[in-house]
Amino acid sequence: MIATSAQDLLDGELNVPIDVDENGLVVVTGTDAMPCMSSASYVWTGANFDGYNSDPDCDGWNSVEPGTQARIGDLTATGPEWSAQPTCTLSCAEELRIYCIEKAP
């Protein structure tokens, strides 16, 4: 179980990483010797660690132009980096998985 509640999900720590794809398979990642240079374990989030939107976000997720960027998370992380890498963003031209985080009103 990733988290026990919505509040637990967004407190900056996960029980286990979100590293299983839509088919139930564990996502295989390479090593990332140069953070922010390889997309092996990154996912699009456009969020801070608390789940709130955070610029940049590929112009509202409408652009794949190399000059636009978005906030990323790390699918191998259980700390705040799972939804927000604090030191980098990636070009929207990259092909990554996506975490869509919706907070109830």
Q: What is the pLDDT along the chain (105 residues), one digit of tens a residue?
A: 999 988 888 888 899 999 988 899 988 776 554 556 556 788 999 888 887 888 889 999 999 998 899 999 988 889 998 988 887 888 899 888 888 877 666
How far apart, in whole angstroms, are the C-alpha atoms of residue 99 and residue 49?
12
pLDDT for residue 4: 93
Q: Give the whole-angstrom CA distance, residue 27 versus residue 55.
A: 26
- At 45, the amino acid letter reads T
Whole-angstrom distance, CA of residue 22 vs CA of residue 104: 23
The answer as to whether 32 is a domain residue is no
Look at residue 23 in the predicted model and tell me its pLDDT: 92
Specify if 11 maps to a domain. yes
Q: How many domains does the chain have?
A: 1
Q: Does 23 fall in a domain? A: no
* 99 assigned to some structural domain: yes
pLDDT at position 63 is 94
CB 94 within 8 A of CB 66: no
CB 96 within 8 A of CB 36: no
Domain extent at residue 95: 1-16+39-105
- Look up residue 40 and give its DSSP letter: T
Which amino acid, one-letter code, is at 96? Answer: L
Secondary structure class of 16 (helix, strand, coil): coil
Q: Which residues are paired to 26 by β-bridges?
A: 20
